[in-house]
Amino acid sequence: MTSIWEYANPKKFMQTSGRFLPWIAGLAALCMVGGLIWGFFFTPNDYKQGSTVKILFIHVPSAMIAINGWGMMLVASLIWVVRRHHVSALAAKAAAPVGMVMTLVALITGAIWGEPMWGTWWAWDPRLTSFLILFLFYLGYIALWQAIDNPDTAADLTSVLCMVGSVFAFLSRFAVDFWNQGLHQGASISLDGRDDMANVFLFPLLTCMLGWVLFFLTLVLLRTRTEIRARRLKALIARERMG
């Protein structure tokens, strides 16, 4: 049986990811575009929210990726710290800009939705505030990678930052349950069926969520491949300079 640690070898990672990428990217595009068209054109307006309910199909999957993207970075960082596999450190680095953009999308679409529904673009509500802090952690994480020349030191320090930031990723997911106050509502859907959503909204939302997960995976694979190439390029240039 093939061990998962084989993919820590950059060559093996490039071969395998290259084989699967077109399929994952194609499926991502299909689910994202299909889910958005379904949600935008073929769902009714909500009796309370009117047509703003359609923002759900972008906002919820983006927020989900914002939080779980950081979770993926945490796992990759822990693998780096424990096993020193370069590919995992590069995967964490590759995921950060994707997670950062998703956090920004969730914040912007939430603010646009909040203005007519809550009467304000922004409130210092537990969920919103922890999301803003998560966004700042993403920025800090990306800046830290850029600021340090030695890639191993950068991977070490960003791993520590990632572990600290995980507290806010966790809080942004459970803030509503912990504090039970603020404007933001609880989970849109849940596995135990507590928060039932009408199927007419649920199915396009699930399609979008699947699309967003595959989109995240596609971009992380693409960006990790680019980081591996950048690392090889740096090594070649260093060798050229030496003689």
Partner 1 sequence: MPDLGKYAVTVLSAYGAAITLIVALVVWTLWRGARMRRLLREAEARRARNG
Q: Given the complex with partner 1, which of 11 and 194 has the nearer CB atom?
A: 11
Stretch near partner 1 under the rule CB under 8 A, chosen from 11-19, 52-60, 150-158, 197-205 = 52-60
Does residue 233 interact with partner 1 by CB under 8 A?
yes
Q: Under a CB-based contact definition with an 8 Å cutoff, are residues 62 and 105 in contact?
A: yes
Does residue 226 interact with partner 1 by CB under 8 A?
yes
The CA distances from residue 195 to 37, 108, 110, 163, 190, in Å, are 24, 24, 20, 31, 6
Does residue 200 interact with partner 1 by CB under 8 A?
no
Stretch near partner 1 under the rule CB under 8 A, chosen from 47-55, 141-149, 164-172, 185-193 = 47-55
Q: How far is the CB of 201 from partner 1 (least distance, A)?
A: 14
Q: How far is the CB of 149 from partner 1 (least distance, A)?
A: 18
DSSP 15-73: HHHHHHHHHHHHHHHHHHHHHHHHHHHSSPPBTTTBGGGGGHHHHHHHHHHHHHHHHHH
- Rounded to an integer, what distance in angstroms lies between the CA atom of residue 203 and that of residue 182? 28
Structure tokens at 198: 């009408």
- Rounded to an integer, what distance in angstroms lies between the CA atom of residue 80 and that of residue 89? 6
Structure tokens at 232: 């090889």
- Rounded to an integer, what distance in angstroms lies between the CA atom of residue 102 and that of residue 62? 5
Q: How far is the CB of 8 from partner 1 (least distance, A)?
A: 20
Among 20, 26, 115, 181, binds partner 1 (CB under 8 A): 115
Stretch 137-176 residues interacting with partner 1 (CB under 8 A): none
Q: Would you tell me which residues interact with partner 1 (CB under 8 A)?
A: 36, 40-41, 45, 50-52, 54-55, 58-59, 62, 97-98, 101, 104-105, 108-109, 112-113, 115-116, 215, 219, 222-223, 225-226, 229-230, 232-233, 236-237, 239-240
